[in-house]
Structure 1
Amino acid sequence: MKKKITIMFIFLFFSMIYVAPLFIRSGLVHYNNQDAYFHLARIDGLATVWKSPINFISFHQIGSDVNQFYPWLLIYPAYIFKVITGSTILGYKLYILLVTFFTMLIAYYSMKSIKNNGKTALIFSLIYTFSSYHSTDLFYRGSLGEFLAMTFLPLVLAGAYQVYYGDEKRWKLLMIGMSLLVYSHVLSVFMVGILLFLFAIFSFYFWDKKILRLLAIAKAALGTGLLSLGFVIPMLQQNAWQEIYSPTTNLINGINLSELLKNTMLNNINGYSIGAVLFFGILITFYNYKKLTKVDLAIYISGIILFLFVSNLFPWHFISTTLLVRIQFAWRLSTFATLFLAYGLSVGLTPNKKIELPFFISLIVLVVGLNTFSVYNIYKSPSVYNLAAEASDERVILTDEISGIWKNQMFFDYVSVAAQENSSLVIPYAFVLNKEQIHPEVKNHGDYVTISYDNQEGAGQLETPFLKYLGQQATLNGKKVATEISSFGTTGLAIVKGQNEITIQYHYTNVAIFSAFISFMTLIGFISWEIFLIYQRKKDDGR
């Protein structure tokens, strides 16, 4: 117990070092065309998430259903911190500290479950957490979803390792890791699924107990499916009901190899690369290859291959017509190159005997110091945000005084394709009655919105800027009325002559509620069973 507490304090200390750059200013550094605005708006929009999937305050106040397309459950603690501190910015920073702590903890215990070696696990935890691309996701891209996903990838790796090569009875590690990934970042689930499939195909011939391992994979898949229904089914239901616009691209381009190598060796946080430590770690691991098992070598080589795939050496144009184009950017593979190369390097660096203090201090200085220096280097001179800032500004600081700015940001991710194509009407918050624009009184109440309009022109069809999804409910002068999709892809409804008091709100569909219930009961059942097994083992040991 004492050792576990010591490890937790060590990880808390290093987590504080890792997130320190976030706290050097009162606001938050944001880079143009990156994701900080998007995720801060998501956090603010969670105020009413238990009552309704849609909050009318965030995302230009048009009722974006981002919560049913982008997982929200695991970022809810950020909203709790916001409520406690009274600041979205401070709440976000405290949440990042918490996530970083769990990243170190999960990385440590994931590697220990594979190697049963605390030294290897400690080295892996430090290298992985302080890796360049991990910091790129947080400090440069502001990509909260991918940053959160990187917390659980070591657990997925540990689970896959056990199922494919180790103790297949530990398939629950894979189930837990994949389920947490689903509630973090859907695109990461897609990429991990492809990698798991490829690893299974290429390694199947070398498996022992093939039937048992296939059954373990099936159990992990079934468990993941049941635990994930609460998010997956509502997302699929909304997608099936109407065509949803999601960020994509028609062509993926790898980074020019010379540029990639330059950014890598200089450890540029804005270079989307694995960074200098892991790059030179490739050579260190190769030098210590005798410490690696065949499986370790396979993981290490996979990391090298994925690193090269980030560059233009890989013919990305060949996959422009396949589902792989959904990853959008070749540099997303740096996530997995980081994971695999950190794994190989930690095994290669592990001393055969007791860790000597000079070695450990040198490792900390190199890994922790280099990453911290690189982050501070891009944080050194961000401009202060002002309302007249041009779109070309590279860096801004979001302060509490202007926290409402992201509420007016418009993101067309996860709106209907029709609304995206008619953005010229949606963005100006246009209300159209019988093809003439009107200006009713609108009041935003968070989980619902009210529209008041004295219509002297006679009955007609009102087209609003509010997006329409399944689960929408509307009332007109206190009575429920039907709505339809307007000519520009939003909510339309018939109004009467005279005073019109309209309310629009959303509820989770019965399918969504039932799916969440199944996932919740699966979780309760799983936890209860694990508690029972622990009790049974202690009872048997006491005999």
Structure 2
Amino acid sequence: MEKEDILGKRKWFFLILAEALLLVAACIFYGRRETVELNYTQEELIDDSGEAAFYLERSSDCRFVGSPKLMLPKGMYTLTVQYEGAGEAKLRVVYPGSRYRSEVSGDIPLSGSGTASCDFRVAYGDRTLQVRGLFSDEMQEGDYLLLRNIKIARAGCDVRNFLFRFVVFLLAADGILFYFQMRKQGRRILPAGADRTVLRALVLLVVGCSIPLAVDYLFLNSHDLYFHLMRIEGIRAGLENGMFPVRIQPGWLNGHGYAASVFYGDFFLYVPALLRYFGVSVQAAYKCYVVMIHMLTVGISYYSFSRMSRPRIGLVCTVLYSLNIYRLTCIYTRAAVGEYTAMTFMPLVLYGLWLLYTMPEDSKRHRDSWIPITAGCTGIFLSHMISTEITAFLVVLSALVLWRRVIRKRTMLVILKAVSATALLNAWFLVPFLDYMVSGNYVINDADKYGSYRIEQTGIFVAQLFMGNFEPFGHSLYASEGIASEMPLTVGIALMAVPAVWFLLAKSGEERKRGEKREAVLAVCLCFVSLWMATCHFPYTWLAERLPVFQLPIVSIQYLWRFLTAAAVLLTWLLCLLLREDGLSVDRRRLIAGVLVGLAFWQGFAYMGQCLQDARPYRVYQAGNMSTMKAQSASSEEQESVMGGEYLPLNRNEPFSLSDYVAAYVEKLTYDEAALTVEGWTREGGAVTVGLENRGDSVQQMEVPLLYYKGYHAVTDKGEPVQITPGTSYRISLSVPPGFAGSIRVEFGEPLYWRGAELVSAAALLGILLYKAGIPGHKRRK
């Protein structure tokens, strides 16, 4: 047997070596293909009748103007179009005159005049293509589109995309080969003690939660979808510019950049951003991310709740938590990426705290409880700051309630480990975040500009917690507007039924151990508090008026129903305690579990089916399909791409109107033409370089299309520093010295202490991994 193992390992070594050589050879061959570069001048463009045309207006007889028909080999290409226009015009690359699928590039929005660019994939090398410029709806008076030039060339990600697809194919082939080899040798792929039925159920649960993704589009009705797709594109663009970690995402606001990565944890968004880097479409990358989150949520939930009880009970709890309506609403109605990602890790924090407060102090599980606490808190912190605030509040509240257990020496030591490890692991994100929050003025740290103060109006009514019919793509309404046509704001009937079942069976608790009874009472109380804080009945304004220190934390929550994230995990914990109750008979447990699982599936699938029924399709493939200024949504109201503009720098005492504020973000220099002569300017790698001359005898100001965030600096071509100050809407303004002639480069650079924090986090991660590697595997709890 040992000899067979050695021979098998050698075969796999040579197979992987051969695949690596094949991969290198294929990439070299693919990269040396014939260069493709097409350039259509204005005179070569045509209309839908085939006649020469490059101009489209309301009185035109044609439906579109564009390129002649062309053919391209399979691969990735970049389309660049120079144009001028007014109105809601757009570009498309299509397969013309086909009864089969004709869409290639998706819609490329055009606004004003300038240059539009978009990558697209050619999947059929034997079908003709055409680039078309047209209008989305009926043209209005004054609308027009003039095309000046159309260029098509191989995309920079073409070879990367080929490499990615080839690697995926090889991995799939190796997986199939490994499976059949194990079957032939009569070996188990899963550990001997693994419950295959549970594993299959978890896989089916992931598939069930992912059903709305099984269409070839995203949902335009999803509230925050556009913002988070822009975040993914921003990380990709930052990586392509050589920035790691990405701090200022360069693609926002006509290239001015946006510090979303400083204020909003995006660690997990590097997965779809890397997929985008390898040429995967925007919507495919986002769908992969959602599936990954479903897998992590199901896996972490099962791990946490099964360790707090038994595997089958853990499975039931996982079903109810994964299919709770609020979580599904965050994914499909709101597209609240940060919030539903944070919900993935909340069961892990709960599990760590459960170990901390229930296990004997001298046990190994108690000593190591800081590990799941640290992992869970890190996952939440790097996903969503508001969820971090909610989690921290409930953790502190539970510590105050259980103060007698907290003040024990060994427990204090474990808490110290958890806090220290969490702080060190997240220093790379925490230090820049605090640096900006303390040293600058932004919408997010200005309570007057961040939101209205009657925050109770954003809470829900108790009746909404028990609703079974929803408006899947409704919006959040103020309490004064009622609940008609509001989006789902409940964890679902299945989880809301858990306290009722507990109350009905509470009398059997007389035979329970005292510790178990206290645990159940604590769970019920925390469930009640979290649900109460999600409603419009909690006295937030009263609290803030008497304790002003809580004003900004309260306002930063934005919507009180966010406490449903905590309510979902706490109600699931209560179910876990209920099903492991020794006083319940097996038949009664099965009945409770069966009814609740049935309710969860019924309500979850009904909600997802309604989403598919009501969703408006949104097909987005590349960055060119997205506007950097205006968000694309199903709402009739125009919305900025930065949503509420929470991370925009501003002057605290000046009036603020978001639409007026961002109107200044145009892709041009602003300066006194009588005093300054500009030879030209370029944008490369997130930096702006300007060639200019100051003919005057005084310092002149020039605004460049970048936002004034800490970390930006300007230097001349001789390496001399140039002073920068905030200009209009906090654009960077250069102070050009008198008599200066040359070039000035403005770029972003991380302060050294940010880099130091990154090294600290890397060292902390390495230390935790080494520590964990030295811990023998935990035995399954019986």
Structure 2 partner of 1:383: 616
Aligned to 1:521: 763
Quick check: 1:103–1:152 contact (8 Å CA) kept in 2? yes
Give the one of 744, 750, 753 matched to 1:508. 750
> Would you say 1:45 and 2:239 are equivalent positions?
no
Alignment pair present for 1:467 and 2:656: no
Q: 1:403 to 1:302 in 2, by over 3 A?
A: farther
Among candidates 711, 733, 748, match of residue 492 of structure 1 = 733
The residue that corresponds to 1:253 in the other structure is 456
**Which letter maps to 1:165?**
T
Q: Distance in 2 between matches of 1:438 and 1:253?
A: 55
Deviations 1:341-396 (A, max 9, x none): 12212433467549999987765543123212212213313335xxxxxxxxxxxx
Name the SS for the 1:31 alignment partner.
coil
Alignment of 1:352-501 (within 5 A): 352-353=585-586, 364-384=597-617, 397-400=618-621, 404-409=625-630, 410-411=641-642, 412-418=645-651, 423=661, 426-429=664-667, 431-434=669-672, 443-451=682-690, 460-477=700-717, 479-488=719-728, 489-495=730-736, 501=743
2:522 aligned partner: 298
Letter in 2 for 1:264: M
537, 540, 543: which one aligns with 1:316: 540
TM-score, with structure 2 as normaliser: 0.61
Cα distance in 1 for residues equivalent to 2:354 and 2:599: 29
Residue matched to 2:300:
106
Q: Does 1:231 align with 2:421?
A: no
- Deviates most, 135-144 or 298-307: 298-307
Q: 1:38 to 1:102 in 2, by over 3 A?
A: same
Give the TM-score taking structure 1 as reference length: 0.85
The one-letter amino acid paired with 2:664 is V
Amino acid at match of 1:511: Y
Match of 1:127 in 2: 320
One-letter amino acid of the structure 1 residue matched with residue 684 of structure 2: H
- Tell me the secondary structure at the aligned position of residue 503 of structure 1: strand
What's the secondary structure of 2:613's corresponding residue?
Answer: coil
* Conserved? CA contact 2:465–2:496, under 8 Å: no
Is 1:53–1:65's contact at 8 Å kept on the other side of the alignment?
A: yes
Matching of residues 117-196 of structure 1 within 5 Å: 117-167=310-360, 168-169=366-367, 170-196=369-395
Match of 1:388 in 2: none
Deviates more, 1:293-302 or 1:515-524: 293-302
Are positions 1:21 and 2:242 aligned together? no
TM-aligned CA distance change 1:70 to 1:424, over 3 Å: closer
Per-residue CA shift, 1:458-487, capped at 9, x if unaligned? 862102341122222334446453242223
Relative to 1, partners in 2 of residues 1:191 and 1:358: Cα closer, same or farther, differing over 3 Å? closer
Contact 1:132 1:267 in 2 (8 A): no
For residues 51 and 198 of structure 1, the distance between their equivalents in structure 2, rounded to whole angstroms, comes to 34
Tell me by how many angstroms 1:17 deviates. Answer: 1.5
In 2, distance between residues paired with 1:478 and 1:13? 63
More helix by share: 1
Assess, with a 3 A threshold, how the Cα gap between structure 1 residues 444 and 325 changes in structure 2: closer, same or farther. same
| Residues 680 and 691 in structure 2, CA contact (< 8 A), matched pair in contact too | yes
CA distance in 2, matches of 1:231, 1:75: 14
Following the alignment from structure 1 to structure 2, what is the Cα–Cα distance between the partners of residues 336 and 440? 58
Unaligned ranges ≥5, structure 2: 1-190, 361-365, 473-486, 510-515, 631-640
Which of 414, 436, 441 is 1:243 aligned to? 441
Offset at residue 302 of structure 1 (A): 1.6
Counterpart in 1 of 2:490? 273
Map Cα deviations across residues 189-221 of structure 1 (whole Å, 9 max, x no partner). 22211111111111224x387222222212211
Shift of 1:516: 0.9
* Structure 1 CA distance for aligned equivalents of residues 465 and 569 of structure 2: 21
Aligned CA distance change for structure 1 residues 352 and 111 (closer, same or farther; 3 Å) = farther
Q: Write out per-residue CA displacement over residues 140-176 of structure 1, whole angstroms, 9 at most, x where no aligned residue.
A: 1111111110010001111112222325312222122
- State how far apart, in whole Å, the 1-side matches of 2:705 and 2:521 are: 55
Indicate conservation of the 8 Å contact 1:475/1:504, yes or no: yes
SS in 1 for 2:604: helix
User: Retained in 1: the 8 A contact 2:235–2:246?
Assistant: no
Structure 1 Cα separation of the partners of residues 459 and 263 of structure 2? 33
The verdict on how the C-alpha distance between 1:143 and 1:416 changes in structure 2, with shifts beyond 3 A counting, is same
Give me the whole-angstrom Cα distance separating, in 1, the residues matched to 2:579 and 2:681: 63
* Unaligned stretches of 5+ residues in structure 1: 385-396, 539-543
Q: Deviations over 1:88-125 (max 9, x none)?
A: 1101101110111011111111112323x112211111
Taking the aligned partners of 1:120 and 1:93, their CA distance within structure 2 comes to 30
Distance 1:267 1:182 in 2: 31
Deviations 1:240-292 (A, max 9, x none): 33222218332312567657427734366522222222222331232233476
Structure whose CA Rg is larger: 2
Q: Single out whichever of 367-376 and 475-484 deviates more from structure 2.
A: 475-484
In 1, the alpha carbon distance for the partners of 2:678 and 2:283 equals: 34
Sort the Cα spacing of 1:216 and 1:256 in 2 relative to 1 into closer, same or farther, 3 A. Answer: closer
Cα offsets for 1:30-74 (capped at 9, x unmatched): 337x32111111111112241652232235421212111111212
Give the Cα separation in 2 of the matches to 1:435 and 1:294: 76
Report what 1:76 is aligned to.
Answer: 270
Alpha-carbon distance in 2 for matches of 1:3, 1:266: 42
Q: Closer, same or farther in 2 for the Cα pair 1:184/1:424, shift >3 Å?
A: closer
SS in 2 for 1:474: strand
CA–CA distance in structure 2, aligned partners of residues 199 and 507 of structure 1:
42
Tell me if structure 2 keeps the 8 A contact 1:267–1:275.
Answer: no
Amino acid at match of 1:175: T
Alpha carbons of structure 1 residues 84 and 17: separation in structure 2 relative to 1, 3 Å: farther
Matched to 1:69, the amino acid is F
Secondary structure, counterpart of 1:407 in structure 2: coil
Contact kept? 1:56, 1:445, Cα under 8 Å: no
Do the aligned residues in 1 keep the contact of 2:687 with 2:747 (CA within 8 Å)? yes
